Amino acid sequence: MSATPVWVQLVYLACAVCFILALKGLSGPRTARTGNLVGAGAAVVACVVPFLYLDLRHVPLILGAVLIGSVGGVVGARRVQMTQMPQMVALFNGVGGGAAALVALLELHEILAVPGGGDLVEWFVLLATAFTVFVGSVSFAGSVVTFAKLQELMTSAPVVFPGLALAFGVSLVAGVGLATQLTISPLLWVGIVLALVGLVFGTLLVLPVGGADVPIVISLLNAFTGLTVAAGGYVLDNVVLLVAGTLVGASGTFLTLLMARAMGRSVANILFGALKGGSTLGSGVASDRPVRSAGPEDVAIMLAYAERVIIVPGYGLAVAQAQHTLRELVDVLAGRGVEIDYAIHPVAGRMPGHMNVLLAEAQVPYEQLKEMDEINGDFKDADVVLVVGANDVVNPAAKTTPGAPIYGMPILNADEARQVVFMKRSMRPGFAGIENELLFEDNTTLLFGDAKDSMSKLLNAVKAL
């Protein structure tokens, strides 16, 4: 392997620093756009540099692939709906893991193409290659399954069948054994079989996960992809890949742990709970119990004459694309002297930050968005809590029902408010598939209908007061 020119190493080092600065910028709403641009710019520079110092073969094919990928990425990013953002993240993440595995296989082919090449490579490089092939394949297959679950191309319920645990264990042992074999005696066919075993293992890893736990698995697979990119950077002697992959792996790991904590669950329970007879999804059957409902005019009076209102947004708000109408309603109420805040649960929607981005799209002031720990003590002083398209994040079963799939998950204390208004399409349960007892309390009122249509009627009713 030829030595990398000093100027290239310096450029890659600068790109790595930019990735770190980008990650820092993404930690706050005011700097997120700049951080995103810095990271994207560094990635473009890192991709251009090899054309300037390497004697590349098949340049037209490389440029063609770059063009196809760029067009696909731009079109996909522009057309994707906010409600489909988790699916897009899963798909892009899977592509990254699959690409890392393919690059590692190609590098293995290049090594073995040289007579005695396998003997000239350090064992740790071969181990990193095996790791990249296996874990990259796991990330690709698992991400495809999570995409299919969220896109409703397959059931979102846990998929468990007799012998699943045995198949899972056998595929894991086979993966470790093949990786060991590839490290000791490198052969291309061993790498290919290892990739296939990784695809099986990744599929079996995600199939038993269901319901609200799927986004957490996406974050975990994202960490896997980062680690494969970092290992691939070591194999290719590329510092920018090593740093970028390490950043993604570390941030994905922390995010997974934080999301699991927000759900009140362990990562092991999320991944393997269904294998022990548990489930991350309830029955999903709509309740026929009587509830108290009202029309937009009645709810408008409750809101307009309240002193303190807290809004709890959820996935239903994103589906209905009602965030702009909600923002207008809040402005009208604020003009009447009503104090209003948005209560954001860590896993509201389908991924962390989902509600923040959705409301930012409607230009909701960031100061009005309150995290769960910050606002939970204020619910007892709220006159009205308006729940728009959320369910599980305010379900008291998380505190009162030990057998519930969401038991132990920290929730927003909406049940402590004087009045609760739920905007719902029907009595079907939330993503966890279980009934919400808060719907049947004496201080709860339901406003049925599509969130956008109901919000428009509610806005007009408030204006008419």
SS3 360: helix
- Residues 204 and 238 reside in one and the same domain: yes
| Whole-number Å distance between alpha carbons of 153 and 350 | 16
Q: Evaluate if residue 282 carries a pLDDT over 70.
A: no
Q: Which domain holds residue 203?
A: 80-276
What tens digit of pLDDT does each residue of 46-69 get?
999 999 988 888 899 999 999 998
| Whole-number Å distance between alpha carbons of 173 and 193 | 13
- Residues 141 and 253 reside in one and the same domain: yes
Q: Does residue 388 fall inside a structural domain?
A: yes
Of 356, 326, 334, the closest CA to residue 344 belongs to: 356
* Pairing outcome for strands 308-313 and 384-388: parallel
- Residues 260 and 380 reside in one and the same domain: no
Give the pLDDT band of residue 298 (cuts 50, 70, 90).
very high
Of 347, 348, 352, the closest CA to residue 323 belongs to: 348
Tally Cβ neighbours within 10 Å of residue 447. Answer: 23
| Whole-number Å distance between alpha carbons of 312 and 370 | 10
| Whole-number Å distance between alpha carbons of 288 and 427 | 8
| Whole-number Å distance between alpha carbons of 427 and 285 | 9
How many domains does the chain fold into? 2
Residue 444: HSE in the Cβ half-sphere, 13 Å Cα cutoff = 19
- Residues 161 and 229 reside in one and the same domain: yes
What tens digit of pLDDT does each residue of 419-444 get?
999 998 887 776 666 788 889 988 99
pLDDT for res 1 = 46
- Residues 405 and 444 reside in one and the same domain: yes
- Residues 401 and 447 reside in one and the same domain: yes
The predicted model gives 376-385 an average pLDDT of 94
The predicted model gives 327-338 an average pLDDT of 93
**Catalytic residue annotation:** 392
* Pairing outcome for strands 308-313 and 444-448: unpaired
Q: Please give the model's pTM, rounded to 2 decimal places.
A: 0.79
Tokens representing residue 387 in the block = 């729940």
| Whole-number Å distance between alpha carbons of 132 and 238 | 14
- Residues 217 and 315 reside in one and the same domain: no
What tens digit of pLDDT does each residue of 202-221 get?
999 999 887 667 888 888 99
Q: Does residue 20 fall inside a structural domain?
A: no
The 308-313 sheet, strands edge to edge: 369-371, 339-344, 308-313, 384-388, 419-424, 444-448
What tens digit of pLDDT does each residue of 85-117 get?
788 888 988 999 999 999 999 999 988 887 766
Tell me which of 152 and 35 has the higher pLDDT.
35
Segment holding 12, helix H or strand E: helix 6-25
- Residues 412 and 456 reside in one and the same domain: yes
Of 139, 130, 124, the closest CA to residue 237 belongs to: 124
Q: Evaluate if residue 84 carries a pLDDT over 50.
A: yes
Of 231, 239, 119, the closest CA to residue 184 belongs to: 119
Q: Comparing 20-34, 108-122, 191-205, 212-226, which segment has the lowest mean pLDDT?
A: 108-122
Which residues, in sequence order, are bridge partners of residue 421? 386, 445
| Whole-number Å distance between alpha carbons of 357 and 274 | 32
Tell me which of 94 and 275 has the higher pLDDT.
94
The predicted model gives 348-369 an average pLDDT of 80
- Residues 309 and 263 reside in one and the same domain: no
- Residues 306 and 259 reside in one and the same domain: no
- CATH code, domain carrying 379: 3.40.50.1220
The predicted model gives 155-176 an average pLDDT of 89
- Residues 227 and 117 reside in one and the same domain: yes
φ, ψ dihedrals at 423, nearest 5°: -100, 110
Of 326, 328, 330, the closest CA to residue 306 belongs to: 330
What tens digit of pLDDT does each residue of 243-254 get?
999 999 998 898
pLDDT for res 279 = 47
φ, ψ dihedrals at 38, nearest 5°: -60, -45
| Whole-number Å distance between alpha carbons of 462 and 404 | 38
- Residues 259 and 317 reside in one and the same domain: no
| Whole-number Å distance between alpha carbons of 334 and 338 | 5
Q: Evaluate if residue 275 carries a pLDDT over 50.
A: yes
pLDDT for res 286 = 62
pLDDT for res 350 = 66
Which residues touch 385 (CB under 8 Å, ≥6 apart)?
Answer: 309, 310, 311, 312, 343, 379, 394, 414, 417, 419, 420, 421
Residue at which a domain ends, from 276, 306, 329: 276
Which residues, in sequence order, are bridge partners of residue 342? 311, 369
Q: How far is CA 77 from CA 73, 84, 226, 241, 438, in A?
A: 6, 10, 21, 23, 38
Q: Comparing 71-80, 281-290, 331-340, which segment has the lowest mean pLDDT?
A: 281-290
Q: Evaluate if residue 197 carries a pLDDT over 90.
A: yes
Q: Does residue 130 fall inside a structural domain?
A: yes
Q: Does residue 425 fall inside a structural domain?
A: yes
Average pLDDT, the chain: 87
The predicted model gives 19-26 an average pLDDT of 90
Q: Does residue 150 fall inside a structural domain?
A: yes
